[in-house]
Amino acid sequence: MSKNVDTDVQMRKRNMKLFPTYKKLAWDYLFYYSIDFLFLTQIKNISAANVVLANSIKYLFGIFIQIPANIIVEFLGRRNSIILGNILNCFYILMFMMTGNLFDLILAKFISSLAVSIKDIAEPGLLNASIPPSKYKSNIFAKINARGASGFYILSAISKIIGGFLFEINGYIPMILCLITLIFVSIVSMLYIEPIKKSSSKSNASMQIKKQMKDIQEGFQFILKSERLKALILSASLIASFLSIMASYRTSLLQDIGTPAYIISFAAAAFSASSAIGAKRQKKFNDRFKNKSIIVVALMTSISAIIAGILGLKKEQSHVLTIIIVLLFLIAKFAHGVFHTIMDRYFRNFTNKEIDTKIFAVKNLFVNIVSATMGIMASFLLNKMSTAYCMLVLGTIFTIMYLLMSKYMKARVGLKPEEYSKFERKYDELQ
């Protein structure tokens, strides 16, 4: 008994200490963003519209991958799944560098989608299972998660500045650095200790898969009946889809108004720094706006896009207008940093190890559905009009949807624990 307790304590200490450092390097691709758009459009000669389309198809893949990804996590465990996800990311960057056309890019995006789906389920699940049950668990989860996220954004900012300069020398160098980082991350992920011990029963693989499918089905049924989770999934899907579109639109707009590649890399670095500040200050932000936090984040992103789109329509661009556009994007990226940390915290509330991976899987499923749909529309618009017009149109559409979303969420999210029904708190560890 004592040995088991010691092992459990060692696991919790190791995982909770390692997670922020790991997330700083592994949350997303370093030396990649903003450079990826330039790499595909300038070196591989793929159109901006097709780049947006490929990103949308990646989310389309995510729709069909979520259940298999959840089975993989349940079958391999959280630790081994994280390792697998990181190795798949290494393959993705290799394929990305070798892509020659849209089909090659879409094939690479499939690998990326599988890797991201596995990691998005396993990583928060591992952290959640590693923190001991207490009334402070939600705050501890958010604090550890935010420390990793803010660290990632800082490293991302530095990597974008370096990547921008290196891109001017040779467009492949930033991608090679990204691959080296991912190889290192794969090694670091091996240091985790699996928090959920599997049953020692020797049932065959097909029996285990059937049991996992039944568990997943029960988990999905609970999630789709929960008013709170449905509201959170709706908001996460709408906000994440718009953030995904803006990731390409931002670079495209700066490119359209004649901003040099090295300046774009500096701007991208500033965007990451702004997200780092947002992730770090998520608790103060949440304390300030309380149950209005999500709608404030949403409107910060959409209204910034509308104003940036209007300014981008000016025929005579100036340094002043460019600076204002960058400042608007900084506001949106601050909201981006707040969004991911707060959302993970909200989804983790009232969950335990029986339901957490299913919640993250369902969230990712709907995020992918909405992101794919909206992304394809964004690609279609970019084929028909300038980036500035696209930002203006989509910013307006999403602002309207966010206001309707806020009305739907009002009585469902942000309540005190005792204000939720027993059903909503079915998996609350402290009940």
The two structure tokens encoding residue 380: 């279609």
pLDDT digit string, tens, across residues 24-44: 998 888 888 767 888 888 888
How deeply is 152 buried, as exposed, middle or buried, from its count of CB atoms within 10 A (0-12, 13-18, 19+)? buried
**Average pLDDT of 84-109?**
91
pLDDT over 60 (residue 426): yes
pLDDT over 70 (residue 331): yes
Report pLDDT for 132: 86
Cα–Cα distance, 223 to 201 (Å, whole number): 29
**Average pLDDT of 366-381?**
84
pLDDT digit string, tens, across residues 147-177: 888 888 888 888 888 888 888 889 899 999 9
pLDDT digit string, tens, across residues 246-304: 887 888 898 888 888 778 878 888 888 888 888 888 888 888 888 888 899 999 999 99
DSSP state, residue 204: -
Report pLDDT for 215: 64
Place of tokens 């609970």: 222
Most confident of the ranges 69-73, 81-85, 257-261 = 81-85
Q: Which amino acid is at 111?
A: I
pLDDT, mean over the chain: 84
CB 7 within 8 A of CB 166: no
Report pLDDT for 1: 46
